[in-house]
């Protein structure tokens, strides 16, 4: 749990330092292809795997590795973060629990 909180805090701090807002980041070109690897076993029952993604940090693409997370409430579903192209720009929507 501590590791996931630290990872989320690191991403938020990196995003703030890069000048992006809390909900969306904007880039002139898309991210590199995603990285794939072994995710291992869940640390316990009820954990959900959140895929890694690219984030913009200081004008460069930085990979944020995937992690196991526990839902905050029963029946919560993790919505993965994604980059989408809108009006010629790339927008990032952060992952969230729904």
Whether residue 78 lies inside any domain: the answer is: yes
Question: pLDDT digit string (tens) for 37-68?
Answer: 888 899 999 999 999 999 988 888 999 999 99
Whether residue 73 lies inside any domain: the answer is: yes
Domains held by the chain: number: 1
Whether residue 81 lies inside any domain: the answer is: yes
Whether residue 52 lies inside any domain: the answer is: yes
Question: pLDDT digit string (tens) for 60-70?
Answer: 899 999 999 99
For 69, the domain range is 2-29+46-97
Q: Which residue has the tokens 């590795």?
A: 65
Whether residue 37 lies inside any domain: the answer is: no
Provide the 8-state DSSP code for 34. P
How far apart are the C-alpha atoms of 69 and 42, rounded to whole Å?
9
Whether residue 34 lies inside any domain: the answer is: no
CA-based nearest residue to 30, from 54, 63, 64: 54
The pTM of this model reads 0.64
Whether residue 39 lies inside any domain: the answer is: no
């Amino acid at each position: 749990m501590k590791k996931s909180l630290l990872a989320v805090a690191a991403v938020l701090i990196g995003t703030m330092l890069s000048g992006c807002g809390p909900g969306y980041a904007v880039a002139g070109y898309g991210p590199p292809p995603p990285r794939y690897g072994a995710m291992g076993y869940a640390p316990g029952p009820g954990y959900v795997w959140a895929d890694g993604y690219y984030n913009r940090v200081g004008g460069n693409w930085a990979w944020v590795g995937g992690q196991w997370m526990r839902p905050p409430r029963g029946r919560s579903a993790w919505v993965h973060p994604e980059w989408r192209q809108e009006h010629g720009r790339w927008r990032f929507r952060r992952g969230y629990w729904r």
